């Protein structure tokens, strides 16, 4: 009898585990009958046959600490929005071919489930290209190992990779569709393809890739006015992107699809920033007037961005349109959005909330309280470790007669190097004129042995090398400062040394190449190395600098300041916060409280050329001098 009882209890327990396993990432259906999803059969959207206006906002899960997802979404809910839009970054979800990551900040099913539980509808923008001021527009760099690669076309090497990724991604999101009780009411086909439009068959391929894998909700495209026609595809509703309202653009969209709903999928609430430029601001008064006009016209709207977040790590993109050379995006993606990088309310937020209140029959929820901030005491740097002494903790270097671009290095299981720095070493027996032949992508610090000689980049392509008779090591530390994310040069975004470098008109040969992606395991190996030197001994550059941030009680959000430092990267407990650069405009790095813990927190700074000996903190950000969006 007792055995039978135990057996029965075991069966119940196993049944509960099985039910949990199959339902933990399933959306919980809202209490409404699901018979007809979002439709675009007339001049207004309908949902369940009733008129429906999309009041949307973009928050990218991969730019926000997971611990803050709910906070940011609740703040968006309190502003009066009913729909969340998000991109999906292919390059993070498939960092190596066939290796998929949907954990931690990349747990898309958890994000969709959270959005549903908070009462949001979702417009999903799965790419494969997303732009987003994100490295290579979200396309994995390992695709560039193919020298003939043609991104965003029906080139077989690209479509095979898209099919493989979509096989994994789409089955993950299909259960979250409206028709299955989930929050997804629409799915975007690619992204702004009208500005690229190199293959007339491509959009049909992407549309079929979605439909054939079970996407059944309304399909959209998203373009600026000039891209609407070349970016359209049969069976998808065209929508518009802009910042300044032009009634000619609205009329053009209306003529393109008469008696169809009108929507602005990207109403740009601010703008992005580039290193070496000023911080862009878009006046709140100008923004709210355009939003009012859009709503008066009966259109649906999505605010891009509602909350921008941060380009943590090396994920930022670069911009090259109408520039002599590409410029990298800064680490912050504050975007001058209604909700700031750290989740603060702004004048834009308050104006929008007042406006959206008029489009609800019930009072809006009260905005959540803000996260506490702390300007921690400065961290005094205790030890340093030169880059040259750190090389023993990298993966095995590559030997090559000629330079190899980082994507084609035989690292990461032959997927190449995606981000960070690459060190090229060779032996020289004399001096003369070093000429990069415009092969540096994007910026190289040049050393003879450990002596700094100068910088090679897009502007400076020649450096004199001092003469000497003995053999010396010529070293080029090349930084990939972010791949272009928009425009026609996506296929050309290989990084490192992409061709020969010459000394006295003779190509350099016989390289030893170190991959320096600075992943967490490398940072942890450094910390545990026992090779660190006390600060009483003068550091050489580049170097890693080690300190400890002690947190007595619960951690608080803060911003890192590095006056007196030049250019580099900050790591907290092994996590890459992103780049800093004294050229600005950004002067602080956002450090979220959930990434700190009570007790000692490891602070490591990789600095290229100059340090101050301490890391400072602020309770508020500094994005530099401002300029209006043109």
Using an 8 Å Cβ cutoff, are 285 and 350 in contact? no
End-to-end distance of the chain based on CA atoms, in angstroms?
81
* Burial of 135: CB neighbours in 10 Å, binned 0-12, 13-18, 19+: buried
Catalytic residue among 217, 266, 517, 527: 266
170 contacts: CB under 8 Å, gap ≥ 6: 126, 209, 210, 213, 214, 215
Using an 8 Å Cβ cutoff, are 175 and 182 in contact? yes
Q: How far apart are CA 109 and CA 115, in angstroms?
A: 10
Give catalytic status of residue 488 as yes or no.
no
Distances in Å between the Cα of 487 and the Cα atoms of 205, 370, 481, 491 are 21, 38, 17, 10
Q: How far apart are CA 332 and CA 273, in angstroms?
A: 8
CA dihedral over 69, 75, 79, 82, signed as positive or negative: positive
Helix, strand, coil share of the chain (percent; to 5): 25, 30, 45
Closest CA to 185 of 116, 240, 127, 121: 121
SS (H, E, C) 319-364: ECCCCCCCEEECCECCCCCCECCCCCECHHHHHHHHHHHCCCCCCC
Peptide bond into 141 cis (omega under 30): no
Backbone torsions φ then ψ of 232, nearest 5 degrees: -85, 160
Using an 8 Å Cβ cutoff, are 515 and 480 in contact? no
Q: How many CA atoms lie within 13 A of 569 on its CB side?
A: 28
347 contacts: CB under 8 Å, gap ≥ 6: 284
Catalytic residue among 192, 517, 607, 608: 192
Give catalytic status of residue 254 as yes or no.
no
Gyration radius from the chain CA atoms? 26
Task: For helices 284-296 and 347-357, give the axis angle rounded to 10 degrees.
Answer: 20
Distances in Å between the Cα of 504 and the Cα atoms of 393, 452, 467, 476 are 34, 19, 12, 17
Task: For helices 108-117 and 156-173, give the axis angle rounded to 10 degrees.
Answer: 40
Closest CA to 416 of 91, 131, 169, 89: 91
Q: How far apart are CA 615 and CA 376, in angstroms?
A: 10
Strands 83-87 and 121-125: parallel
Q: Which residues are catalytic?
A: 192, 266
């Amino acid at each position: 009898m007792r055995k039978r009882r135990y057996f029965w209890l075991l069966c119940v327990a196993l049944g509960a585990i099985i039910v949990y396993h199959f339902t933990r990432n399933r959306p919980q259906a809202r209490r409404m009958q699901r018979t007809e999803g979002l439709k675009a059969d007339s001049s207004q959207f309908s949902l369940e046959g009733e008129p429906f206006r999309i009041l949307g906002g973009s928050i990218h899960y991969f730019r926000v600490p997971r611990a803050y997802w709910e906070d940011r979404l609740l703040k968006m809910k309190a502003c009066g929005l009913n729909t969340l839009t998000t991109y999906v970054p292919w390059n993070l979800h498939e960092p190596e071919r066939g290796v998929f990551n949907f954990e931690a900040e990349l747990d898309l099913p958890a994000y969709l489930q959270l959005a549903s539980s908070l009462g949001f509808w979702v417009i999903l923008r799965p790419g494969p290209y997303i732009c987003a001021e994100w490295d290579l527009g979200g396309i994995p760099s390992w695709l560039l190992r193919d020298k003939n690669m043609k991104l965003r076309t029906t080139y077989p090497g690209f479509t095979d990779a898209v099919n493989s990724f979509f096989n994994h991604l789409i089955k993950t999101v299909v259960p979250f569709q409206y028709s299955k009780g989930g929050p997804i009411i629409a799915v975007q086909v690619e992204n702004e393809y009208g500005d690229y439009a190199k293959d007339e068959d491509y959009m049909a391929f992407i549309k079929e890739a979605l439909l054939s894998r079970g996407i059944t909700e309304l399909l959209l495209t998203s373009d600026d006015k000039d891209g609407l026609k070349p970016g359209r595809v049969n069976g998808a509703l065209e929508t518009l992107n802009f910042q300044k309202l032009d009634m000619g653009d609205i009329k053009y969209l209306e003529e393109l699809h008469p008696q169809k709903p009108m929507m602005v999928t990207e109403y740009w609430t601010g703008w992005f920033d580039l290193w070496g430029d000023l911080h862009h601001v878009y006046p709140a008064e100008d923004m709210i007037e355009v939003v009012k006009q859009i709503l008066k016209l009966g259109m649906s709207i999505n605010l891009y961005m509602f909350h921008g977040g941060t380009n943590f790590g090396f994920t930022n993109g670069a911009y090259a349109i109408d520039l002599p050379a590409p410029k990298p995006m800064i680490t912050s993606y504050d975007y001058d959005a209604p909700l700031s990088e750290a989740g603060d309310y702004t004048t834009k937020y308050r104006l929008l909330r007042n406006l959206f209140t008029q489009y609800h029959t019930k009072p809006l929820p009260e905005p959540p309280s803000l996260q506490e901030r702390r300007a921690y005491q400065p961290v005094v740097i205790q030890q340093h470790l030169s880059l040259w002494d750190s090389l023993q903790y990298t993966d095995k270097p590559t030997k090559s007669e000629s330079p190899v671009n980082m994507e084609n290095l035989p690292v990461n299981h032959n997927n190449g190097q995606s981000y960070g720095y690459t060190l090229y070493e060779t032996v020289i027996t004399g001096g003369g004129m070093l000429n990069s032949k415009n092969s540096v992508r994007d910026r190289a610090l040049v050393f003879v042995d450990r002596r700094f000689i100068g910088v090679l980049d897009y502007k400076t392509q020649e450096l004199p090398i001092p003469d000497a008779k003995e053999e010396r090591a010529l070293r080029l530390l090349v930084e990939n400062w972010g791949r272009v994310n928009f425009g026609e040069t996506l296929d050309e975004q290989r990084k490192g040394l992409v061709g020969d470098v010459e000394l006295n008109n003779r190509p350099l040969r016989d390289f030893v190449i170190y991959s320096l992606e600075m992943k967490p395991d490398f940072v942890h190996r450094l910390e545990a190395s026992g090779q660190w030197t006390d600060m009483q001994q003068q550091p050489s550059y580049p170097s890693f600098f080690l300190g400890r941030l002690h947190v007595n009680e619960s951690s608080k959000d803060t911003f890192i300041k590095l006056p007196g430092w030049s250019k580099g990267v900050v790591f907290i407990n092994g996590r890459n916060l992103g780049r800093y650069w004294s050229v600005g405009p950004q002067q602080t790095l956002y450090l979220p409280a959930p990434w700190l813990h009570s007790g000692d927190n490891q602070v490591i700074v990789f600095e290229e050329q100059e340090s101050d000996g301490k890391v400072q903190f602020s309770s508020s950000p500094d994005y530099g001098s401002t300029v209006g969006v043109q």
